[in-house]
Amino acid sequence: MNGKNRIHNLVSCAVFKTSIGWCGLVMERGKVRRFSIGYASPRQLKRHIRNDLGDDICFKHSAAMKMIIQKLMHYCSGQKVSLSRVPMDWSSLTPFERKVLRAAARIPYGSVVTYGGLARKIGSPRSARAVGNALAKNPFPLFVPCHRIIKGDGSIGGFSARKGIILKKRLLNMERLQSTRLIK
């Protein structure tokens, strides 16, 4: 493999600070492979990324990465930003997980859906728990806004990102969901 191809095939990572904590954007071949949010320090986040992906990571970022980071920074500062056109690498997910996450990606900013409601949207009305399990494996939080999915009784439900439910509540509040639009 020549040097140019090796660089192209490296996993690129950017670690940056936002109002919700340190975030890490991991890309490979022009697609988001993983996004981590809510870390207390860059050292902690880099350790997590290296433990997850190994040491063959380049901590330099391309122009495309910089544009995505800029969108994320705007989102984290409370601006309504669309992240739906960002290319993502879905290959690590099962077909069911992809179906769930793609449906969750279509939940509009400022809206919430229940786990059961999302299960109905994907044609599996009795699989609310399986939907929750798929959301727990979401490698693209914010891009796939799993924080917008709540329990059927209106309570917050879980959140697998760092800082868990505290961060989920903060994201929902940031989107001004005190006057939430519930999509059935």
Of the candidates 13, 23, 76, 146, the residue annotated as catalytic is: 146
* Torsion angle, alpha carbons of 170, 76, 37, 68, to 10: 150
Q: Tell me, what amino acid is at 97?
A: E
Tell me the residue ranges of DSSP E strands in 40-159.
Answer: 57-58, 111-114, 149-150
What span, in angstroms and rounded, lies between the C-alpha atoms of 37 and 48? 11
Question: Which of 112, 109, 118, 99 has its CA nearest to residue 154?
Answer: 112
Q: Is 146 a catalytic residue?
A: yes
Q: Tell me, what amino acid is at 73?
A: M
Residue with tokens 């939907």: 131
The CA-based angle 95-115-152, given to 5 degrees, is 165
- The alpha carbon dihedral of 29, 34, 36, 42 has a sign of negative
What span, in angstroms and rounded, lies between the C-alpha atoms of 179 and 48? 36
Residues designated catalytic: 146
